[in-house]
């Protein structure tokens, strides 16, 4: 049994077998084959061995020409391994007898042979153990083929363990197959973590070294609540987590009972609770959890897992479906936020510093065709319901003005073409750069609403990469500088009489959401759908007065340690037993 602690990125508990997606190596799945498939499977294996022999021969010929005798010796050793009876015949026998796929059986034989070598006294022979890896991986690569590294190919239930995952991987995860995932890289608010939460896939990230410890097909428990992973659990651990899973599911069901109630404090202040979504596939979940519209539609997903770009029509159909589904509630479409930790492969170039690079609105203002297509689609969908536009990563007034100029051009085009669209569409901006927060009083006069993106705001205020597990402990949502800036933004919005929402992950955490409420007037909070009921429960259990008292006290404290200590010790005391923060957190 190995127990490891990482960062809980997406709540929930998953129990299953490991699917090792190590892109530097190979991922091998185990599956049974039918009796009539045995010969085909053996043939497939023989072909992979033949391919590997051909490849090694070619390299050997090259070595001969260059008269590199040392290298030639190694190659001869490799060729001998390929002819090794134990490795080849044993694999064929096991395919026949056990009726398991070739790569799985072969990998087992390879491991066994390597272990025999590694235990030898003679150093030279011990070294040959490593050669077995080289040759074995060559055969495996030929068996699997390079394209098979896609998560979409997973055809049995498993928990993915990987060095890192891309947003495009998460989109491809089939919920009935991917029970959970664990990565070495990543922070709580990295895009991949947020998407996992959106899709309700339990996940733990920032678990350095797990690849080395995880064995193919090993049993694993992923506790996304505590950020704990257990490989090959004992019977007791297994029972414990099975029970925890049941309790978790029970709480979720209980919380859902209040989904249609108002999110109103005990002294009558109400907050609109909306959903963050990434695709239209999340609409049913968001509605089930009681979302009053969409506070943030992250549109990057439309661009993932394809080589081309989504057409205006594709954008339009998805936005139209969303806005019609949530009527009469609003749907806020954020224009493309490509770049940073949301790399869209066909658009973004490699940059030394992507978080500070050509990202979000900066990208859209450079690639006007892509921007215009999206704006046209949003405006057209606005004809069918309550839709708003939101620009991401604004850092100054000029960006808003430039984006609005483009919007006006698009409106003129639509008018000229006689296409119906929403003329008086509301425009909002994300407040997620320190620059925008500091001049929020100026920006407030240029837009209809603000939405505070705490994920990026924290990253940029504290200069802590939100995706980097090595600095994850420095990523502190309750840092005094973050809280003061948020208060400043709330004040500016109130003074200019515009609506303000919080759409970063802070709003989805009951303790931080409570503090946000106390910092100033917030009209709505938007979060991944799964968090909505617990935030509603928190709000219904607190008075605005209490929230203000707590936040005022916090603002007198000087370090995030003091703030965290105060919050976790003192805040829960103010609530009834029914409000169990430990369960909700
Ligand atoms: C944010 O930065 O808080 C936010 C909501 O946007 P994203 O997480 O998509 O960057
Ligand atoms: Mg952001």
Q: What is the CATH number of the domain that holds 186?
A: 3.50.30.10
Q: Does residue 194 line the site of ligand 1, with CB under 6 A?
A: yes
Measured in Å, residue 433 CA sits from the centre of ligand 2 at 9
- Domain co-membership, 419 together with 436: yes
Which of 193, 195, 503, 526 has most ligand 1 atoms within 8 Å of CB, for mutation?
Answer: 503
> CB-based contacts of 291: which residues, under 8 Å, 6+ apart?
273, 274, 275, 326, 329, 529, 532
Ligand 1 atom 6, closest CA: 453
Measured in Å, residue 47 CA sits from the centre of ligand 2 at 49
- Domain co-membership, 184 together with 286: no
Ligand 1 atom 1, closest CA: 453
What gap in Å lies between CA 522 and CA 519, rounded to an integer? 9
What gap in Å lies between CA 462 and CA 156, rounded to an integer? 42
Classify residue 39: in a domain, yes or no: yes
> CB-based contacts of 312: which residues, under 8 Å, 6+ apart?
373, 374, 376, 377
Measured in Å, residue 523 CA sits from the centre of ligand 1 at 18
Of 65, 90, 60, the closest CA to residue 77 belongs to: 60
Ligand 1 atom 9, closest CA: 298
Q: Does residue 451 line the site of ligand 1, with CB under 6 A?
A: no
Ligand that comes closest to the CA of residue 457: 1
- 449 forms bridges with which residues in the sheet? 428, 499
Q: Residue 234: which domain range?
A: 2-23+151-254
Measured in Å, residue 454 CA sits from the centre of ligand 1 at 7
* pLDDT given at position 65: 63
Which of 10, 186, 298 has most ligand 1 atoms within 8 Å of CB, for mutation?
Answer: 298
Which of 79, 109, 144 marks a domain boundary? 144
Other beta carbons less than 10 A from residue 444's beta carbon = 23
Question: How deeply is 286 buried, as exposed, middle or buried, from its count of CB atoms within 10 A (0-12, 13-18, 19+)?
Answer: buried
Measured in Å, residue 456 CA sits from the centre of ligand 2 at 5
Which of 460, 502, 504 has most ligand 1 atoms within 8 Å of CB, for mutation?
Answer: 504
- Domain with residue 561: its CATH number is 3.20.20.60
What is the model's pTM? 0.73
Classify residue 217: in a domain, yes or no: yes
Question: Is the peptide bond between 87 and the residue preceding it cis, with omega within 30 degrees of 0?
Answer: no
Classify residue 135: in a domain, yes or no: yes
- Domain co-membership, 13 together with 59: no
Q: Which H, E and C letters describe 375-418, residue by residue? A: HHHHHHHHHHCCEEEEECCCCCHHHHHHHHHHHHHHHHHHHHHC
Measured in Å, residue 189 CA sits from the centre of ligand 2 at 10
- Domain co-membership, 305 together with 393: yes
Of 166, 152, 141, 139, the closest CA to residue 50 belongs to: 139
Closest ligand 1 atom number to CA of residue 453: 3
Q: Does residue 295 line the site of ligand 1, with CB under 6 A?
A: no
> Per the structure block, which two tokens stand in for 205?
């990230």
Are the C-beta atoms of residues 7 and 188 closer than 8 Å to each other? yes
Measured in Å, residue 383 CA sits from the centre of ligand 2 at 27
> CB-based contacts of 89: which residues, under 8 Å, 6+ apart?
none
- As for how many domains the chain has, the answer is 3
Closest ligand 1 atom number to CA of residue 296: 5
Measured in Å, residue 527 CA sits from the centre of ligand 2 at 13
- Domain co-membership, 160 together with 211: yes
Q: Please provide the size of the chain in residues.
A: 585
Other beta carbons less than 10 A from residue 396's beta carbon = 14
What gap in Å lies between CA 348 and CA 343, rounded to an integer? 6
Ligand 1 atom 3, closest CA: 453
At which residue do the structure tokens 């921007």 appear?
371
Rg of the chain taking only CA atoms, in angstroms: 27
Closest ligand 1 atom number to CA of residue 392: 6
- Domain co-membership, 12 together with 115: no
Classify residue 30: in a domain, yes or no: no
- Domain with residue 102: its CATH number is 1.10.274.10
Handedness of CA 486, 292, 11, 334 (dihedral sign): negative
- Domain co-membership, 129 together with 160: no
Q: Does residue 524 line the site of ligand 1, with CB under 6 A?
A: no
* pLDDT given at position 274: 98
Which helix H or strand E contains 335, and what residues bound it?
Answer: none
- Domain co-membership, 267 together with 318: yes
- Domain co-membership, 74 together with 121: yes
- Domain co-membership, 112 together with 216: no
Of 344, 426, 358, 345, the closest CA to residue 393 belongs to: 358
Q: Does residue 550 line the site of ligand 1, with CB under 6 A?
A: no
Q: Does residue 504 line the site of ligand 1, with CB under 6 A?
A: yes
Classify residue 222: in a domain, yes or no: yes
What gap in Å lies between CA 472 and CA 295, rounded to an integer? 27
Q: Does residue 455 line the site of ligand 1, with CB under 6 A?
A: yes
Ligand that comes closest to the CA of residue 525: 1
Which of 144, 176, 202 marks a domain boundary? 144
* pLDDT given at position 148: 41
Instruction: Give, for all 585 residues of the chain, the pLDDT tens digit.
Output: 899 999 999 889 999 999 888 665 556 777 888 888 999 999 999 898 888 888 777 766 765 665 556 556 666 777 777 777 777 888 999 899 989 889 888 888 888 887 887 777 776 666 666 677 767 877 887 887 654 456 777 778 999 998 888 776 787 788 788 999 999 988 877 878 888 888 889 999 999 889 888 887 789 999 998 999 999 999 999 999 999 999 888 888 888 899 899 999 999 999 999 999 988 888 998 999 999 999 999 999 888 867 789 999 999 999 999 999 999 999 999 999 999 988 888 898 889 899 999 999 999 999 999 999 999 999 999 999 999 999 999 999 999 999 999 999 999 999 999 999 999 999 999 999 999 999 999 999 999 999 999 999 999 999 999 988 899 999 999 999 999 999 999 999 999 999 999 999 999 999 999 999 999 999 999 998 989 999 999 999 999 999 999 999 999 999 989 998 998 888 887 776 556 555 555
What gap in Å lies between CA 541 and CA 255, rounded to an integer? 13
Classify residue 246: in a domain, yes or no: yes
Closest ligand 1 atom number to CA of residue 503: 5
- Domain co-membership, 47 together with 119: yes
Which of 114, 144, 174 marks a domain boundary? 144
Which of 275, 337, 361, 428 has most ligand 1 atoms within 8 Å of CB, for mutation?
Answer: 337
Q: Any idea which residues carry the catalytic annotation?
A: 191, 503
Q: Does residue 454 line the site of ligand 1, with CB under 6 A?
A: yes
Ligand 1 atom 4, closest CA: 453
- 60 forms bridges with which residues in the sheet? none
CA angle 402, 407, 410 (to 5 degrees): 130
Closest ligand 1 atom number to CA of residue 341: 10
Question: How deeply is 431 buried, as exposed, middle or buried, from its count of CB atoms within 10 A (0-12, 13-18, 19+)?
Answer: buried
What gap in Å lies between CA 503 and CA 500, rounded to an integer? 10
- 540 forms bridges with which residues in the sheet? none
Classify residue 465: in a domain, yes or no: yes
Ligand that comes closest to the CA of residue 192: 1
CA diameter of the chain: 86
Give me the sheet containing 228-231, strands edge to edge: 2-5, 228-231, 219-223, 13-21, 158-162, 178-183, 203-205, 7-10
Other beta carbons less than 10 A from residue 105's beta carbon = 24
Q: Does residue 7 line the site of ligand 1, with CB under 6 A?
A: no
Classify residue 95: in a domain, yes or no: yes
Are the C-beta atoms of residues 549 and 570 closer than 8 Å to each other? no
Measured in Å, residue 491 CA sits from the centre of ligand 1 at 21
- Domain co-membership, 170 together with 85: no
């Amino acid at each position: 049994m190995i127990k490891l602690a990482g960062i809980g990125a997406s709540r929930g508990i998953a129990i299953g077998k490991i699917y090792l997606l190590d892109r530097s190596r190979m991922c091998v799945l185990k599956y049974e084959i039918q009796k009539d498939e045995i010969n085909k499977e053996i043939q497939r294996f023989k072909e992979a061995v033949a391919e590997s022999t051909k490849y090694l021969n070619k390299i050997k010929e090259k070595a001969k020409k260059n008269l590199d005798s040392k290298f030639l010796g190694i190659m001869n050793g490799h060729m001998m391994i390929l002819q090794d009876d134990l490795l080849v015949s044993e694999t064929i026998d096991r395919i026949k007898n056990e009726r398991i796929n070739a790569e799985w059986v072969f990998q087992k034989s390879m491991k066994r042979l390597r272990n025999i070598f590694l235990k030898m006294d003679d150093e030279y022979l011990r070294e040959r153990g490593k050669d077995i890896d080289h040759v074995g991986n060559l055969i495996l690569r030929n068996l699997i083929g390079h394209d098979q590294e896609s998560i979409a190919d997973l055809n049995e239930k498993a928990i993915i363990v990987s060095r890192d995952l891309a947003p495009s991987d998460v989109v491809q995860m089939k919920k009935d197959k991917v029970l959970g995932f664990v990565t070495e890289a990543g922070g709580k608010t990295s895009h991949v973590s947020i998407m996992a939460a959106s899709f309700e896939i339990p996940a733990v990230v920032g678990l350095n070294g797990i690849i080395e410890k995880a064995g193919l097909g090993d049993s694993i428990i992923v506790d996304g609540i505590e950020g704990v992973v257990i490989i090959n659990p004992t019977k007791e651990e297994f029972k414990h987590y099975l029970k925890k899973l049941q309790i978790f599911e029970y709480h979720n069901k209980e919380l859902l009972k209040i989904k249609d109630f108002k999110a109103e404090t005990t002294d009558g202040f109400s907050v609109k609770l909306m959903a963050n979504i990434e695709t239209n596939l999340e609409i049913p979940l968001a509605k089930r959890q009681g979302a009053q519209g969409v506070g943030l539609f992250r549109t990057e997903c439309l661009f993932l897992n394809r080589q081309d770009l989504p057409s205006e029509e594709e954008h339009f159909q998805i936005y139209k479906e969303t806005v019609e589904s949530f009527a009469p509630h609003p749907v806020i479409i954020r224009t493309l936020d490509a770049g940073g930790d949301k790399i869209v492969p066909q658009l973004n170039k490699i940059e030394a510093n992507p978080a500070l690079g050509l990202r979000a609105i900066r990208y859209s203002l450079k690639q006007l065709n892509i921007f215009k297509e999206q704006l046209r689609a949003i405006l057209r969908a606005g004809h069918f319901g309550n839709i708003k536009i939101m620009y991401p990563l604004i850092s100054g007034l000029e960006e808003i003005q430039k984006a609005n100029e483009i919007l006006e051009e698009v409106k003129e085009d639509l008018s000229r073409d006689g296409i119906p669209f929403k003329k008086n569409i509301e425009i909002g901006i994300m407040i997620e750069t320190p620059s925008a927060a500091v001049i929020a009083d100026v920006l407030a006069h240029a837009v209809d609403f603000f939405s505070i993106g705490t994920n990026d705001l924290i990253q940029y205020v504290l200069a802590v990469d939100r995706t980097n597990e090595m600095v994850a402990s420095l990523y502190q949502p309750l840092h005094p500088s973050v809280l003061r800036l948020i208060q400043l933004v709330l004040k500016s919005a109130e003074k200019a009489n515009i609506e303000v929402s919080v759409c970063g992950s802070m709003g989805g955490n009951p303790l931080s959401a409570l503090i946000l409420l106390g910092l100033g007037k917030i009209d709505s909070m938007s979060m991944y759908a799964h968090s909505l009921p617990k935030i509603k429960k928190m709000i219904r259990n607190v008075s605005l007065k209490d929230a203000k008292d707590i936040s005022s006290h916090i603002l007198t404290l000087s370090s995030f340690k003091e703030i965290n200590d105060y919050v976790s010790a003192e805040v829960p005391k103010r609530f009834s037993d029914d409000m169990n923060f430990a369960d909700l957190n």
